[in-house]
Amino acid sequence: MSLPPHPPLLRARDLGYSRNDAPVFGPLDFSLDAGEALLVQGGNGAGKTTLLRVLAGLLHAETGTIEIEGREPEPAQRARAVAYLGHLPALKADLSARQNLDFLCGLHGRRPSVPIDAAMAVVGLAGYEDALARQLSAGQKKRLSLARLWLSPAPLWLLDEPYANLDLEGIELVNRMISVHLRDGGATLVTTHGAYAAPPVRTRLLELRAAA
Amino acid sequence: MSLPPHPPLLRARDLGYSRNDAPVFGPLDFSLDAGEALLVQGGNGAGKTTLLRVLAGLLHAETGTIEIEGREPEPAQRARAVAYLGHLPALKADLSARQNLDFLCGLHGRRPSVPIDAAMAVVGLAGYEDALARQLSAGQKKRLSLARLWLSPAPLWLLDEPYANLDLEGIELVNRMISVHLRDGGATLVTTHGAYAAPPVRTRLLELRAAA
Amino acid sequence: MSYLSYVVAAYAVFVAVLAWDYLAPRLQVRALLRAARARRARSAPRAASGELQR
Amino acid sequence: MTSPSLSAAARALLLRDLRLLWRRRGDALQPLLFAVLVVVLFALALGGDRRLLGAIAPYAIWVAALLAGLLALDSLFRGDAEDGSLEQWLLAPVPLAWLVAVRVFSHWLTTSLPLLLAVPLLGELLYLPRDQLGVLLLGLGLGTPLLGLLGAVVAALTVGMKRSGILMALLALPLYVPVLVFGAGGVAAAGQGLDAGSAWLLLGAGLAVALVLAPLAAAAALRIALD
Amino acid sequence: MTSPSLSAAARALLLRDLRLLWRRRGDALQPLLFAVLVVVLFALALGGDRRLLGAIAPYAIWVAALLAGLLALDSLFRGDAEDGSLEQWLLAPVPLAWLVAVRVFSHWLTTSLPLLLAVPLLGELLYLPRDQLGVLLLGLGLGTPLLGLLGAVVAALTVGMKRSGILMALLALPLYVPVLVFGAGGVAAAGQGLDAGSAWLLLGAGLAVALVLAPLAAAAALRIALD
Amino acid sequence: MNPVLRWFHQLGSPPYFDSFAARWSPWLFAAAIALLGIGAWQGLFVVPADYQQGDSFRIFFVHVPAAMLSLMVFAAMAAYAAIALVWRIKLCEILAMACAPVGAGFTVITLVTGSIWGKPMWGTWWDWDPRLTTELILLFLYLGVIALYGAIDDRRNAARAAGFLAIVGVVLLPIIKYSVVWWNSLHQGQTISLLGESKIDPSMVAPFWIMYAGMLCWFLASLLQRARADNLRRESGKDWVAKLSGGEA
Ligand code: HEM
Ligand SMILES: Nc1ncnc2c1ncn2[C@@H]1O[C@H](COP(=O)(O)OP(=O)(O)OP(=O)(O)O)[C@@H](O)[C@H]1O
Ligand SMILES: Nc1ncnc2c1ncn2[C@@H]1O[C@H](COP(=O)(O)OP(=O)(O)OP(=O)(O)O)[C@@H](O)[C@H]1O
Ligand SMILES: [Mg+2]
Ligand SMILES: [Mg+2]
């Protein structure tokens, strides 16, 4: 038997997670190719956040395996492949917007082709480079996190409710960012409640339902 | 000149707020009658959160006055008239959902007609009465805050992005709660980005634009 | 010099600590089982509320 | 009744604090354990020099109690500020000063009282002369509520900041110094056979004044800090 | 270069910490000020009894440094945990232990170093015999980085909790006791004209071992705590 | 499968462990009480008074076995914790955490009986002597493990964090054990030895080992009982617990 030429970017087999022995999401099987988006839908408490944290490696799966580009990854490999945008913005309130991006790029590496100020302009924060993070509104903080994502070299984006707190123009921005990212050979998981317009790209759907 | 028979529930005259001498929102004039909803719209950073905090009395207005039922209120009067739902849920992570409501009702008073467990059932948290607040997901926490609102005797609701983190059914729930509240003679201010369906009630619109 | 009181005190402490060690988990088990029983009684199906009322 | 009375709000708050305490029983013992550890550290650093230890024992216990109180101060309003509860206190139809007073009382009950009960043990560990135990306890009994009330004002002022631990210590210590001076001075006077009554009178008077003024000041400070 | 090298990540982290420090300059002085206040409290409580003060001076300074370090420990990872930065550390393509080591170093630089520089002043305040200053500084110079490294393990374990201040103290102090015993013991030996070399050797050896093992242990603890 | 392995595997299933613990801990408690009763009776009434220490040496029979167990239980806790961390076996997490309160109890017994014994022998309740100090620190470590376990809400993470602390704390055990050898100390040196000749009067040897065996049984019994409580708490949402509670009502 010959291996398939392109293993999927992400593949989960039999993936399950339990908290205090109560299953949060059941065994899941799915895969994600480059150029695809996976929409993770489900009501409040269905386990979307938990799933993304497991995939990012912040939580340990109870059962099953996760493969990235066909192999079960080392932590460092996984870190290179994954960019995670969670509920917490990872911003230092006392540093300016640009200094925050500086640090995060030093930590995660960055695409050499994109200057930091250009990324801030992309997310609509031009002019806020020297504003302290504590002075940004809820939506502006979210946009700053999006700029970090835009700078990241990782092909796989894990986005937890990226639309929350954004205005209409911001939602549009997220969709455009995703489209470009996928066109360049990336892939993304997006959790959403279905109240927002999904990005206009090749999309699969994963329904989560609160485990009984 | 004779006074109008029913002064509006809330009236702002010339209301302005500045942070470090930079205006956040310009002088605003608006009023809100019982049975009405005021939708506060505006992009990210337009000053919606700031406006609601000023109205609640958490921040001091720079200029202008706020009247409630025709009078400039004492703090205690204002407290009796206003229920505020902000970004922070005011939940104790180590208490159960019911104990949290117990406390908040002790602090703010409550409608004698609604039992606590009934309010939890209304917001779809039946069965979670004894779950600790820390174990709730983002949307479940929001629902618990909605239950507090449902129990509150205050006629004026100030809701800052009540739809964020809720699933479709939850958004529907907020709209139903607002409708019933207005039918009973209440009023509400709701901030939103316009990405969600507004409640089907008599609605005025207040556009905020980031002050230059 | 009489050492009686010292010896008695030492053995009394010994017995007291062992008694605590015996009783504390037993009480816990009792409370847990009671809570489980209460939960089972409570988890009878609830009537879902349709229209909002207050 | 829709709007809560003073006593209803106080009852709700006390009940909540006791429930939280019960949920995290261990926390109640922590200031006590910390004081024990400071005492142990002292004894260790001095290498068991009995004479020296006995001489500094009452002062070391005062300092330990004060530091434990200082550390516990952070939990007075911090938790409530972070999860937004404090906003709701400000928006409640009862006076903020009243809520503050109730909160300080429940905080004293759960952090300082256990420590007071353990003072005899601490004294033994430091070879405190037995006859000084009574005065020491009297001083601490008057002093710790006073420290809590003064601390509440400082805690309220710093509540808007993240990670204020050391800043709070800095602001609180100048207020604590008089209490320490009279408390320790009273013990010293008693140790030399002098009359310590005036020290206790002063502490008592301070406590009475603080009981009235500190909640008001702390409430004002809270309003400023959260603006 | 898209993926950062070890040194690039370290540089970014150090730069960030120094910028944050500059933004809140006052914070850097706070452990120092806390130690000064503990010392002053002691001097006040003892009522200026010179002989007694001089005798306990080196021990009081050790205890003050240790307590200041303990209080500062909370800020080692707490801020980064609360705003989600720590999640990003875990997701970075450089080893977590390396980031932890760099963070401990920058934390030592910004909290313990100022304190070391102020020890001569503290000694003066407590009438420390001048000839003991050298050994005291040597001991603290070896001891404070060791305390920081040991503390990092504990801080990592408690990072998942809110309000862990006193729990952290409880967990850290058993680890700190040997450092204190040898540090204070060395001063005592030198004060009596004995040879304190073995105490310094032991502290130095402990530091060398901790430099290697503590970041690894702290990284493991962080992974456990954030799981 | 190897029957021992299979049994161990079966033990890992929570309902099975519950019934296993419920069945065996009463028997172990009974054995412990019997042994302790015999040992105490012999130690108090049969053994003749010591020519140096008079009757006060009768405290020996509780003090020394309790001290030995306080160290041994900590070692056992660390061992369980290590297994739990490496292989993620849930039963071992539970057992490790069940060790902590029992061990803390033995440590308290050691400290208090030692203090009581110290008053007539050394003329003081307490002294900052290496062995006494390190034993006190051991108590703090036990309390730290218990507090840490209580402070984290996910039970598995809590057990792993507290177990980690226990493993770090093992460094203390040799220091306690050999503190009397390394530093000059007020406290007695090594007198009892398992294999070689003990340096105590032969009439004391038998009651000593009986007391020791009794405390060992007590430890096992209490361990099972505490592990059962923790197991029930973790599983409190499960069907089998509900059934069990109904059955025992
Ligand atoms: C608070 C005071 C005391 C504490 C914390 C303490 C602690 C200990 C410890 C930890 C052991 C070690 C057990 C082992 O090696 O496994 C021990 C053994 C022993 N203790 Fe104490 N002890 C105290 C007071 C005393 C006193 C006052 C006496 C008698 C005068 C005493 C007599 C002994 C003896 C004879 C042993 C057995 C030594 C051996 O065979 O290794 N202890 N104690
Ligand atoms: N720390 C925790 N401890 C225990 N249970 C938790 C914890 N966090 C979440 N849960 C529970 O796990 C389930 C899944 O939570 P999760 O946060 O993954 O939901 P979600 O799909 O992201 O929901 P939302 O849309 O509301 O954000 C919920 O039922 C929640 O109550
Ligand atoms: N603490 C602060 N210090 C200084 N400026 C602030 C502070 N908080 C908010 N701002 C600024 O004030 C403006 C209004 O903020 P506000 O939070 O009211 O916006 P918003 O309309 O709620 O936005 P969003 O939809 O993003 O939540 C923003 O430009 C923001 O940058
Ligand atoms: Mg979520
Ligand atoms: Mg806002």
pTM of the model: 0.78
Q: CB–CB of D78/D225 below 8 Å?
A: no
* Ligand lying closest to the C-alpha of residue B140: 2
Q: CB–CB of E191/E58 below 8 Å?
A: yes
Q: Which residue has the tokens 């066109």?
A: A183
| Opening angle at CA D187, ends D182 and D188, nearest 5 | 95
* Ligand lying closest to the C-alpha of residue B24: 3
F235 in a structural domain: no
Residue E1, classified by CB atoms within 10 Å of its CB into exposed (0-12), middle (13-18) or buried (19+), is: exposed
Residues, chain C:
54
- CATH of B10-194 given 3.10.20.600, 3.40.50.300, 3.40.50.2300, 3.40.800.10: 3.40.50.300
Backbone phi and psi for residue A38, each to the nearest 5 degrees, phi listed first: -115, 120
Question: pLDDT for F108-153, tens place per residue?
Answer: 999 999 999 988 888 888 887 778 888 998 998 999 899 888 877 7
Chain D partners within 8 Å of F125 (Cβ) = 124
CA distances from F55 to D43, E146, F186 (A): 32, 47, 20
ipTM for the whole complex: 0.74
Chain D partners within 8 Å of B79 (Cβ) = 91-93
Q: F167: which residues sit within 8 A by CB, 6+ positions away?
A: F78, F81, F82, F85
- pLDDT of F114: 93
Neighbours of ion ligand 5 (CB under 5 A): A 138; B 49
Hey, is the C-beta of F116 within 8 angstroms of any chain E C-beta? no
The torsion of the CA quartet F14, F16, F19, F21, rounded to 10 degrees, works out to -70
Among protein residues, the one with the nearest Cα to ligand 3's atom 23 is B45
The DSSP line for A153-210 is --SEEEEESTTTT--HHHHHHHHHHHHHHHHTT-EEEEEE-S-SPPPSS-EEEEE---
Q: CB–CB of D20/B94 below 8 Å?
A: yes
Question: pLDDT for D70-111, tens place per residue?
Answer: 878 888 888 788 777 888 888 888 889 999 999 999 999 888
Backbone phi and psi for residue A160, each to the nearest 5 degrees, phi listed first: -100, 110
* Ligand lying closest to the C-alpha of residue F205: 1
Hey, is the C-beta of C23 within 8 angstroms of any chain F C-beta? no
Count of B-D CB contacts under 8 Å? 97
Question: pLDDT for E16-28, tens place per residue?
Answer: 888 888 877 766 7
Cβ–ligand 2 distance for B94 under 6 Å, the answer no
Nearest chain F Cα distance for residue A153, angstroms: 32
- pLDDT of E48: 66
**Pick from A45, A168, A194: which is nearest to B168 by CB?**
A194
- pLDDT of C45: 44
Residue F193 is part of which domain span?
23-47+59-230
Cβ–ligand 2 distance for A48 under 6 Å, the answer yes
Hey, is the C-beta of E162 within 8 angstroms of any chain D C-beta? yes
CA distances from F223 to C20, E169, F219 (A): 13, 28, 6
Hey, is the C-beta of E170 within 8 angstroms of any chain F C-beta? yes
| pLDDT-based confidence at residue D225 (cuts at 50, 70, 90) | confident
Q: Using alpha carbons, select from B132, B23, D40, D96 the residue that is nearest to residue F137.
A: D40
Q: Which of D195-209, E161-175, E209-223 has the highest mean pLDDT?
A: E209-223
Lowest mean pLDDT among A192-196, D197-201, E173-177, E198-202: A192-196
Residues, chain E:
227
**Pick from B164, B167, B168: which is nearest to A165 by CB?**
B164
The torsion of the CA quartet B100, B106, B110, B113, rounded to 10 degrees, works out to 80
The pairing of strands B37-41 and B22-32 is unpaired
Q: Which residue has the tokens 């020297």?
A: A130
Backbone phi and psi for residue B26, each to the nearest 5 degrees, phi listed first: -70, 180
Residue C23 is part of which domain span?
1-42
| pLDDT-based confidence at residue F249 (cuts at 50, 70, 90) | very low
| pLDDT-based confidence at residue D216 (cuts at 50, 70, 90) | very high
C52 in a structural domain: no
Nearest atom (ligand 2) to Cα of A193: 25
A41 has which bridge partners?
A192, A207
CA A189 to chain centre: 6
The number of folded domains in chain C is 1
Q: Which residues line ligand 1 (CB under 6 A)?
A: F 60, 63-64, 67-68, 71, 110-111, 114-115, 117-118, 121-122, 131-132, 135, 176-177, 187-188, 190-192
The pairing of strands B10-19 and B63-68 is antiparallel
Can you tell me the mean pLDDT for B2-26? 81
Q: CA D120 to CA D122: how far, in whole Å?
A: 5
For A60, the token pair is 């340990």
Count of D-F CB contacts under 8 Å? 24
CA-based torsion, F114, F116, F119, F124: positive or negative: positive
Among protein residues, the one with the nearest Cα to ligand 2's atom 13 is A45
| Closest residue on chain A to F155 (Cα) | A20
Q: CB–CB of B79/D93 below 8 Å?
A: yes
CB contact under 8 A, D23 and B89: no
C30 in a structural domain: yes
E160 has a pLDDT exceeding 80: no
Q: For every residue of B110-169, which 3-state class applies, written as one string?
A: CCCCCCHHHHHHHCCCCCCCCCEHHHCCHHHHHHHHHHHHHHCCCCEEEEECCCCCCCHH
E90 has a pLDDT exceeding 60: yes
Q: Using alpha carbons, select from B18, B44, B4, B33 the residue that is nearest to residue B189.
A: B33
Q: CA B30 to CA B16: how far, in whole Å?
A: 12
Among protein residues, the one with the nearest Cα to ligand 3's atom 2 is A135
| Closest residue on chain A to E13 (Cα) | A103
Among protein residues, the one with the nearest Cα to ligand 1's atom 38 is F190
Cβ–ligand 2 distance for B135 under 6 Å, the answer yes
* Ligand lying closest to the C-alpha of residue B166: 2
Q: CA E218 to CA E227: how far, in whole Å?
A: 14
The DSSP line for F135-152 is HHHHHHHHHHHHHHHHH-
Among protein residues, the one with the nearest Cα to ligand 3's atom 31 is A136
Helix (H) or strand (E) holding E1: none
Between the CA of A48 and the centroid of ligand 4 the distance, in Å, is 6
Can you tell me the mean pLDDT for D29-43? 81
Cβ–ligand 2 distance for A141 under 6 Å, the answer no
Between the CA of E79 and the centroid of ligand 3 the distance, in Å, is 22
Question: pLDDT for F149-192, tens place per residue?
Answer: 887 777 888 898 899 999 988 988 988 888 777 776 677 766 66
| Closest residue on chain F to C33 (Cα) | F245
How many angstroms separate the most distant Cα atoms in chain A? 59
- pLDDT of D1: 43
CB contact under 8 A, C1 and F119: no
Q: D194: which residues sit within 8 A by CB, 6+ positions away?
A: none
**Pick from A140, A164, A195: which is nearest to B168 by CB?**
A195
CB contact under 8 A, D24 and F151: yes
Can you tell me the mean pLDDT for A106-119? 88
Per-domain residue ranges for chain D? Answer: 6-226
Q: Using alpha carbons, select from A212, A84, A89, A64 the residue that is nearest to residue A145.
A: A89
The number of folded domains in chain F is 1
Lowest mean pLDDT among A29-38, D6-15, D172-181, E25-34: E25-34
Per-domain residue ranges for chain A? Answer: 10-194
Helix (H) or strand (E) holding B190: strand B187-192
Chain C partners within 8 Å of F101 (Cβ) = 21, 24
**Pick from C18, C28, C34: which is nearest to F229 by CB?**
C28
B30 has which bridge partners?
B12
Residue D7, classified by CB atoms within 10 Å of its CB into exposed (0-12), middle (13-18) or buried (19+), is: exposed
Nearest atom (ligand 3) to Cα of B20: 4
CA distances from C24 to B164, C16, C21, F229 (A): 46, 12, 6, 10
Q: Which of A112-116, B190-194, F55-59 has the highest mean pLDDT?
A: A112-116
Hey, is the C-beta of B108 within 8 angstroms of any chain D C-beta? yes
**Pick from E11, E20, E85: which is nearest to A90 by CB?**
E85
Nearest chain B Cα distance for residue C24, angstroms: 23
Q: Which residue has the tokens 């320790």?
A: D184
Nearest chain E Cα distance for residue D5, angstroms: 31
Q: CB–CB of B26/B20 below 8 Å?
A: no
The DSSP line for A84-131 is EE-SS----TTSBHHHHHHHHHHHH---TTS-HHHHHHHTT-TT-TTS
Question: pLDDT for E166-204, tens place per residue?
Answer: 678 888 888 888 888 888 888 878 777 777 777 888 889
| Opening angle at CA F70, ends F66 and F72, nearest 5 | 110
F64 in a structural domain: yes
Secondary structure (3-state) at A136: coil
For a mutational test of ligand 2's pocket, the pick from B96, B137, B142, B165, i.e. the residue with the most ligand atoms closer than 8 A to its C-beta, is B137
| Closest residue on chain B to A41 (Cα) | B167
Q: CA A115 to CA A111: how far, in whole Å?
A: 9
The DSSP line for E157-187 is HTTTSSS-HHHHHHHHHHHHHHHHHHHHHHH
E217 has a pLDDT exceeding 80: yes
B60 has a pLDDT exceeding 80: yes
